[in-house]
Amino acid sequence: MSLDEDKISRGALETMSMLPPSPIALVVVGETVPDIITVGMVNLFSQRPPIIGIGVTTARYSYKLLEENDDFSVNFPTPEILSKVICCGSVSGSRVNKFEKCGLTKVPSSRIKSPKIKECILNVECKKIDSLEKGDHVWFFGEIVHGDAPASYDQKLALLHRDGLFWTIGQKLENP
């Protein structure tokens, strides 16, 4: 592709599908029987205070749990557990226990009641602070109260996604 190439106009949905891939997360919500939902809609919203948001549609079983509970964990997987990510994104927690069904390990969180996922490289514990309906998704905002990552943590291990395709991060660039 050349930067001199003429551009083609695109519809809104096609434009959205062309955005660069972004992280996929496994969100865990609930204390006694927690559910896991795969979300592509995950973003940072504030640094001070540290706020992360996840977008969930009202059709999801986890939407009900997000409404009922005061916290959730946002867990970032690696490509090694892609099949588990797809499993959590294709069955409903209203019918199955996804920790058992998808083969993930529940670990107690440090600062919140919802547990976190052992197999993910980065665990982010959030206290729910707000929610906002926008179009076909409801955004749940959480203040980050704790995080866990291994000493050897490397951002390029994270699994990315856009429009049905999964990616990993390419090359890290030196700042000019």
Ligand X SMILES: Cc1cc2nc3c(=O)[nH]c(=O)nc-3n(C[C@H](O)[C@H](O)[C@H](O)COP(=O)(O)O)c2cc1C
Interface pattern 7-36 for ligand X (x via CB under 6 A): -----------------x----------x-
Interface pattern 99-138 for ligand X (x via CB under 6 A): ----------------------------------------
Query: Minimum distance from CB of 37 to ligand X (Å)?
Result: 4
Q: What are phi and psi of 148, to 5 degrees?
A: -135, 130
**CA–CA separation, 134 vs 172, rounded Å?**
34
Q: Give DSSP secondary structure letters for 139-173.
A: EEEEEEEEEE--TT--GGGSEEEETTEEEE--PPP
Length of the chain: 176
Cα–Cα distance list, 86 to 65, 119, 140 (Å): 20, 14, 22
Q: Which is nearer to ligand X, 86 or 107 (CB)?
A: 86
**CA–CA separation, 72 vs 50, rounded Å?**
15
156-165 exposure pattern, b = at least 16 Cβ within 10 A, e = fewer: ebbbbbbeee
Per CB under 6 A, 160 contacts ligand X: no
Per CB under 6 A, 77 contacts ligand X: no
Per CB under 6 A, 50 contacts ligand X: no
Per CB under 6 A, 97 contacts ligand X: no
Q: What are phi and psi of 42, to 5 degrees?
A: -145, 135
Q: Closest residue to ligand X, Cβ-based?
A: 89
Q: Which is nearer to ligand X, 92 or 110 (CB)?
A: 92
Q: Which is nearer to ligand X, 107 or 160 (CB)?
A: 160
Residues in contact with ligand X by CB under 6 A are 24, 35, 37-41, 55-57, 60-62, 86, 89-93, 161
